Amino acid sequence: MTLSQGRAIFIWGTVISTVIFLGLTYDSISKMPKRTHAEELSDAVADGKWTWQRYNCNDCHTILGIGGYYAPDLTKVMSQRDPEWTKQFLKDPHKVWPAKRRMPNLHLTDNEIGNLVAFLTWVNGIDTNGWPPKPMAVAAAGSTPLPGEAVFRAQGCSACHKLNGVGGDIGPDLTHVGSTRTPDWIKQQLENPRSHFPNSPMPSFSKLSPKDMKDLVDFLSSLK
Amino acid sequence: MKYETQKIAYQYFVAATLLFGLQVIFGLLTGAKYVWDYDPLMNIIPFNTSRAIHINLLVVWLLIGFMGGTYYLVPEEAETDIYSPRLAAVQLYLFVAIGVAAIIGYLAGWSWGMPFLEQPTVLKFGIVIVALIFLFNIFMTMMKTKKWTVIQGVLLGGLVMLALLFLFGIFFVRNLSTQYYWWWWVIHLWVEGAWELVAGSIIAFILLKMTGVDRELVEKWLYVEVGLVLFTGIAGTGHHYYWIGTPGYWLWVGGIFSALEPVPILFMVFDTLRDVREKKIEIENKIPLYWAVGSAVMHFLGAGVWGFAHTLPQINKWTHGTQVTASHGHFAFFGAYVMINLTMIYFAVPRITGVVRKGHGRSLVALRFMVFSIFFMVLALAIAGIVQSYLQRILGMDYLTTQDYLKLWYAVMWVSGWGVVTGVFIYIFDFFSMGRPPKITA
Ligand code: HEM
Ligand code: HEM
Ligand SMILES: [Fe+2]
């Protein structure tokens, strides 16, 4: 090989790759508004994005899989959590979710919190080519989970309660709760925890819609 | 050293060396937060602040090192003094001042909040000014003689590309996906593009000077290597466009091009070894050569092998956003850019200070300490990442629960981190024992 052949490889290698890359960039940028449902990108969402940046959330949490690996990925968090729960959590994280690894209280204003939830809700709708993947074990089992399980997750119950070994220690293990409590007792506990345990730190879930409440009670009662 | 003004590089190397020490201390602090659940510093230096400082210091000291290397290299290649040593000094002080302002700002909660680019916008404009002064000074130096060597051309090309790409990381974009689309033009196209050009030309220069092989041979291969780096690396940016709201064809384009990225890195290993084998002059101070060979190998393992391991979408789908990425990030940055900077420093500093040292054991102790410790560290992170991917993505375990299972590997990471810090401090001590430059006359 000669120097001028080397130079030709350099020039052509660079040019070809750049042309492909710029061409696809043009195409991507024109398709991304649709894939990210940009028509729903309101001012509140953009303000929420700025709040997200200002508090440097991204150096603890990944989003779209990018960032710090210290805290959960938030790309699809709003499929898992209820907006009201998220707002309360952001107001005082450790009180709502006493996890061992703590999130600091950022002293966010209600306005900032509202914008953040709008932002995360919008991010939740981005078409990510199926990422994060559905856990293989769950996908393989093919079982359709009871609708109440989604309510259980969205309300963050596992912050305090264990189910099959996963969850917090603040409240009792619920793995077999259906074998010791009746559905009516469970419903009563959800609506007014202090009626059973006067000093209970558990919040009331009476705000749940009748359907969510019924699904949740059915789910818990099925845990035998 | 042939030209008086090459000395300016020394100040850059001092700054780079000290910031390197600070960077790894912040690494330990960041890592400690994984090892112990309760963080007593949570409200003073929380994880995000600590991480931001750790990775910013990394990028800043590597850039300062590259600038120092450039100021050392260009006079010898262009056969003339630096256009303005005073401007070079001003540029360094300005850069360090901006860096200090950024760190104090992070501690006070002032952040722009995109990873690696956390610097608030005003400071980013300051960085642009630093880059402009630097490029101006280098360009004017080259124009004095208009002796264009390939090494200089590739170096200048890399530096201009580096500066231009930074512009894509300055502006706020409302759409997160689009923001990340441009963010990768800085992050990926730096380390897998522009920086490879800078590092490649610096290594080519050192090998040329140390081994006395034909310039034509070195420059021909430099062209081929950086040509293939850009061919695979530019379209290879697509390996970051799999899951961020971008069209599906990136799974093909990113996968295919980035899978080829290890090829030029492997060429660099062969190239380095061949130059050393075919050396035409007796090498008195072998230290830079140890670092150069070490770097070639570690660059290939960290970027080439560790990068390839998770670059195909079929695998990346499971490992994306886990500790697997952290493992690769540490290995690649260390193997490629830390070691190349230290190679340059060990090459240039004795030539600047004129101090001839008997024996050079300490440098090799530092090298071994760093290489072995980093190796254990990235192994621990890789295991943590694979276990995490399994628990989270296969079994569907909740993120925070997975962390309990990774404690052991975080502990191994952290203990190895102390080994890295030890190696770095041995290096710092060794750096200052290489003497100081004689006073600049005139
Ligand atoms: C004492 C040794 C070190 C320790 C304990 C350490 C620890 C850490 C930790 C805990 C993180 C945050 C990872 C996360 O976001 O979850 C991190 C990030 C990072 N560190 Fe280090 N580090 C050390 C040395 C280094 C060195 C020598 C380099 C450069 C070669 C480096 C480069 C990086 C990079 C590039 C990131 C960002 C990684 C990514 O985004 O994937 N670190 N480090
Ligand atoms: C010296 C060159 C390189 C350096 C310094 C480097 C560094 C990094 C860093 C710091 C990240 C994490 C960025 C973040 O999300 O915060 C990353 C991600 C990645 N790198 Fe590299 N890299 C290099 C070369 C390569 C090569 C040659 C390949 C492929 C063959 C590669 C494949 C990847 C992939 C696939 C990711 C994304 C990981 C994920 O999905 O989270 N890298 N690299
Ligand atoms: Fe990349």
For chain B, the domains span: 1-148, 179-355, 357-433
Nearest to B335 by CA among B360, B305, B365: B305
Query: Going by C-beta distance under 8 Å and a sequence separation of 6 or more, which residues neighbour residue B185?
Result: B165, B168, B169, B237
Do the beta carbons of residue B61 and residue B143 sit within 8 Å?
no
Please answer whether residues B314 and B373 qualify as being in contact, where contact means their C-beta atoms are separated by less than 8 angstroms: no
Contact A156, A97 (CB under 8 A): yes
| Separation of CA B110 from chain center | 25
Contact across the interface for B397 and A166, Cβ inside 8 Å: yes
Output the six-digit token pair for B199.
């590092």
Q: Looking at residues B333-341, what average pLDDT do you find? A: 98
Which residue's alpha carbon is at the smallest distance from atom 8 of ligand 1? B27
| Angle between helical axes of B361-389 and B287-299 (0-180°, round to 10) | 10
Closest approach of B433 to chain A, Cα-based (Å): 37
Phi, psi angles (nearest 5°) of residue B120? -60, 155
B residues 173-202 near A, CB within 8 Å? 174-181, 183
B260 touches B301 (CB < 8 A): no
Q: Has residue A141 got a pLDDT over 70?
A: no
Q: Do B394 and A16 touch (CB under 8 A)?
A: no
What residues of B are in contact with residue A99 (Cβ under 8 Å)? Answer: 400
User: Each residue of B364-397: pLDDT tens digit?
Assistant: 999 999 999 999 999 999 999 999 999 999 988 8
What is the third-level CATH fold of A136-221?
A: Immunoglobulin-like (2.60.40)
Q: Measured between beta carbons, which residues in chain B are less than 8 angstroms from residue A107?
A: none
**pLDDT tens for residues B105-115?**
999 999 999 99
Distance (Å) from the alpha carbon of B49 to chain A's nearest alpha carbon: 8
Task: Compute the distance between CA of residue B23 and CA of residue B427 in angstroms, rounded to an integer.
Answer: 14
Q: DSSP 3-state helix, strand, coil percentages of chain A (rounded to 5)?
A: 55, 5, 40
Predicted pLDDT of residue B356: 82
Of the listed ligands, the closest to the CA of B424 is: 1
Q: How far apart are CA A75 and CA A112, in angstroms?
A: 19
Instruction: Give the model confidence (pLDDT) of A74-129 as tens digits.
Output: 999 998 888 988 999 999 998 888 888 999 999 999 999 999 999 999 999 999 99
Q: If you compute the radius of gyration of chain B from its CA atoms, what whole number of angstroms results?
A: 21
Both structure tokens of A39: 């028509």
Among A66, A69, A70, A101, the mutation site with the greatest number of ligand 1 atoms within 8 A of its Cβ is A69
- Residue-level pLDDT at B442: 46
Domain B179-355 adopts which CATH fold? Cytochrome C Oxidase; Chain A (1.20.210)
Which residues does chain B have within 8 Å of residue A6's beta carbon, measured at their own beta carbons? Answer: 219-224, 227
pLDDT value at B3 more than 80:
yes
B162 CA to middle of ligand 2, Å? 17
Question: Of the ranges A98-102, B148-152, B437-441, which is most confident?
Answer: B148-152
Structure tokens at B187: 């992050």
How far apart are alpha carbons B67 and B82 in whole angstroms? 13
Mean pLDDT across A145-149: 82
**Token match 């699809």: residue?**
A76
The size of the A-B interface in CB pairs under 8 A is 230
Best CATH choice for the domain A38-124 from the list 1.10.760.10, 2.70.40.10, 2.70.150.10, 3.40.50.2300:
1.10.760.10
Decide whether any atom of ligand 2 lies within 6 Å of the B131 Cβ: no
User: Is B234 an interface residue toward A (CB < 8 Å)?
Assistant: yes
The tokens for A63 are: 């989003």
Name chain B contacts of A63, Cβ cutoff 8 Å: 176
What are the domain boundaries of chain A?
1-35, 38-124, 136-221
Consecutive H or E run containing B387: helix B361-389
pLDDT in tens, A155-164: 888 878 888 8
